[in-house]
Amino acid sequence: MMKRSGVAAVLAGAVLVLGQESWAGRNRGTPPTGPGGTCQVVAAATALTEQEAADLLHLRQEEKLARDTYQALYAVWGLRPFDSIAASEQRHVDAVLALLATYGIADPLPDAAAGTFSDPEIQGLFEALVTVGGQSIVEALRVGAMVEDLDIADLDAAAAVSENAALQTVYTNLVRGSENHMRSFAAQLARNGQTYTPQFISQARFDAIIGSTVPSGRRAVRQRP
């Protein structure tokens, strides 16, 4: 297990209650509900449960967290992986926004500026991640791996409590994207002689992700002296 420095040390405090109890699966806000605990929707074929709606609202903020964190770290280090993965995270944001629109759920972050969130826990996490990622290139890459680690765990939890086909399709695609991002960050860490220990998904799940097909042709970004 890697030493509790950098990412682990800063996030082990109040912000990383996450390390002990993932946000995955817990009730993340209370959307408007109707009889039987279903979310009131507009022009949607199938109503969402309260938990499904809450998960979508949480994922809206979490996908923005990933995008904004990578954009901020790209501005600090100028590393291409952060720029390209931030663009991918924008597509993740768009996918969740499309689901919110389909089910008539108001966007909790309309016109929100970069680095701004309505959930105070995610706001605090963003600030901590950017602070840690600004310490070194290696810590920035670990931050990237941690964000994807959390995202996969939460997507898995959301999928586990939903039987909605539209949600399942989007969740599956988002998980695949996050797994690709995790492989990218882990590969860059390995080329810098470093590793990442998963905080939210199991070690077995992490190993399976890293052991699957890795995109080729990416060069390592070396640690600055």
pTM of the model: 0.80
Place of tokens 């390390």: 19
Distances (CA, A) of 139 to 20, 106, 169, 195: 21, 35, 33, 11
Q: Is the dihedral of CA 32, 35, 39, 43 positive or negative?
A: negative
Residue 131: exposure state from Cβ atoms within 10 A (0-12, 13-18, ≥19): middle
SS3 19: helix
Q: Token pair of 142, please? A: 């670990």
> Helix-strand-coil percent breakdown of the chain, rounded to 5?
60, 0, 35
| pLDDT higher than threshold 80 for residue 162 | yes
Q: pLDDT per residue over 103-131, tens digit each? A: 999 999 999 999 999 999 999 999 999 99
Three-state DSSP at 39 gives: strand
Tell me the mean pLDDT in the region 63-85.
97
Predicted pLDDT at 213: 64
Q: What is the pLDDT of residue 2?
A: 35
Look at the domain 7-211 and name its fold. Answer: Ferritin (1.20.1260)
Rounded to an integer, what distance in angstroms lies between the CA atom of residue 73 and that of residue 67? 10
